[in-house]
Structure 1
């Protein structure tokens, strides 16, 4: 919408600004009324039970370090 507003009215605005313009004129974001016909609920449930926990558990524990890859941590 931000791009469309910019092209039609030759103005630039932020995403938040575009949202405020639309909201001020009574518009709101739209949500699909129905789920996709192709949706496989069994596959979605399987992913939620098996894959998602593995992905969340694979994070590294927080440790002291440097944000720079070229400089080691100096203590």
Structure 2
């Protein structure tokens, strides 16, 4: 696993692959604070649906929980 720092800049897209939760709200606000754009994906989406949305939105980073990581 790489431990490089990832930089999110203004207008970058960050996918929030999280269930409705306090973490979702905090991540959404953090992305907005950085001037980036959030796109959301339902954890119940299939792997191909998540991939399609990530490509279409030019996602730079995905924030998720370890339970959802296999997708």
Q: Answer 1 or 2: which has greater strand percent.
A: 2
TM-score bracket, shorter-length normalisation: under 0.3
Q: TM-score, normalised by structure 2?
A: 0.26
Q: TM-score, normalised by structure 1?
A: 0.25
Higher RCO (Cα < 8 Å, 6 or more apart):
2
Q: Answer 1 or 2: which has greater helix percent.
A: 1
